[in-house]
A = this chain, B = another copy of it.
Amino acid sequence: MPFDPNDIMKDRITDIGPPKYDKFFPPVIKENYGKWKYHEILEPGVLVHVSETGAEVYTVRVGAARLLSVDLIREICDIADKHCGGYVRWTTRNNIEFMVDDKSKLQPLIDELKSRGNWFPIGGTGASVTNIVHTQGWIHCHTPAIDASGIVKAVMDELFDYFGSHKLPAQVRISLACCLNMCGAVHCSDIAILGVHRKPPFIEHERVQNVCEIPLVIAACPTAAIKPKKVGDYKSIEINEKRCMFCGNCYTMCPALPIADGDGDGIALWVGGKVSNSRTAPKFSKLAVHYIPNEPPRWPTTVQTIKKILEVYASDARRYERVGEWIDRIGWERFFEKTGLEFRHEHIDDYRLAMTTWRTTTQFKF
C-alpha cells in the first residue's frame, strides 16, 4: 500500500530498527562467521581471510569520496552484482569492500574496478594512508570554519601514492572536522585537520531575544565568557572577548551570534593521536600548526604541510611506529626541528588540564 499523505498513521511502521545484519552477509561470510583463522594482505588493497573450514574470502578495498551520488552507488551495485553475488560493504572509514569467495574471481574483479577510470582506487590496507574520515563542511552544516570534502580531495590527491602502497612505517589515519565539535573524531588521529574560527561571534542584539534561549547560550560557553546584558530595549548578552576561544558553541545555540569569517577562519593541524591499544595506549592528537588560512579550492599550504609532516615521519620513524609513537621517541623538540614547523605560544596548553602537559623534568634534548 503506498503512502497516503492525508493519513500518515495509516499502516505506519515505526521502531523496527535496521535490518538484521546477517540478512546482508554474503554466503561465505555467513558460513564462516566466527571461524576465521588468519588473513593476509596479498597486495595493497587486497586481502584474503582464511577460515578454519578452509574457505577463503578475498576482499578488494577501494577508496571513495564519502559523498556518493546514487549514480555511483548504482555503479557499485553493478560491480557487486557482476562479481560478488550482489553483496558489498563499507568500512568504518568509508572505503568500499568488494568480496569474492574464490581466488579465481579476484583478478576479474580487480580488472573491472581498474577499468572504471579513477572511481575505484584500490588500497587503504596496511601501512598506508587510508581514507580520510571527515564531516560535512560547506556541504551541509551551519558551523563549519572550513569545507570538508574539498580539502579531503586535495589531500588525498597529493597523498595518493600512500593510499595504494605500504611504504609507511605504520598506518597513518588522517581525519578532518570542520569545527571544534569534531564530528570527525579527529581528536585521536595520526594527523588531524581541524577547522578553526579566530574571531569571537558578533552579536545581533535585536535578534537575540527572539531566536535564542539566553540561559542556554550562557551555559553553552565552555569558558564562561558570556553574560546576560540589556542593550537598549533588547534582552541580549555580552561576550568577554578575552575569554573566547572561538569554539562556536554559542552560535550552535543561537543563530544571532555569527562566528564565521572568511578571512579569520582556517585550519589547525594536529598530530600523533591514535585509537588502537596496540603497543601503546590510545592518545590524543596534539597541536602541530596553529593556523593555516582557508585556501580554496585546493588548500595548497595545508596539503603541503601535511605532506611534509608525513614524509619526515616516513623517513624517520621505525617500522610499526605510529606518528605519535615516533614523536614520543624522538621528542617534540625534534619533531618541530625536523619538520621545520614553528613552535609558538599557541602550542603551550592554557586550558583546564594545562599543567599536566608542561615539562616537569630536566629530560629534554638540545
Chain A positions near chain B (C-beta within 8 angstroms)? 277, 281-282, 352-353, 355-356, 360-363
Choose from B277, B356, B360 the contact partner of A282 (Cβ within 8 Å). Answer: B360
In the assembled complex, the CB of A286 is this many whole angstroms from the nearest CB of chain B, namely: 15
State the CA gap A282–B363 with chains docked (Å).
Answer: 10
- In the bound assembly, the distance between CA atoms of A360 and B273 in angstroms comes to 13
Residue of B nearest to A279 (CB): B363
Q: What distance in Å separates the Cβ of A285 from its nearest Cβ neighbour in chain B?
A: 14
> Closest approach, in angstroms, between the C-beta of A229 and any C-beta of chain B?
26
Secondary structure dominating the interface of A: loop
In the complex, what residue of chain B is closest to A356 when comparing beta carbons? B356
Q: Which residues of B have CB within 8 Å of A356? A: 353, 356
Q: How far is the CA of A281 from the CA of B281 in the complex (A)?
A: 19
- Using CB atoms, name the residue of chain B closest to A278: B363
The answer on a CB contact under 8 Å between A281 and B353 is no
Instruction: Report chain B residues within 8 Å CB of A363.
Output: 277, 281
Q: Which residues of B contact A282 (CB under 8 A)?
A: 360-361
> Among the listed B277, B352, B353, B361, which residue makes an inter-chain contact with A277, where contact means beta carbons less than 8 Å apart?
B361
- Nearest CB of chain B from residue A105's CB, rounded to whole Å: 37
Q: In the complex, which residue of chain B has the Cβ closest to the Cβ of A282?
A: B361
Q: Which residues of B contact A281 (CB under 8 A)?
A: 360-361, 363
Q: Once bound together, how far apart are the Cα atoms of A281 and B355, in whole Å? A: 15
Collect the chain B residues with CB atoms within 8 Å of residue A277's CB. 361-363
Q: Nearest Cβ in chain B — how far from A349, in angstroms?
A: 12
A353 vs B356: C-alpha distance in the bound complex, in angstroms? 8
Q: How far is the CB of A322 from chain B (nearest CB, A)?
A: 14
A353 proximity list for chain B (CB < 8 A): 353, 355-356
Measured between beta carbons, the chain B residues less than 8 angstroms from A360 are 281-282
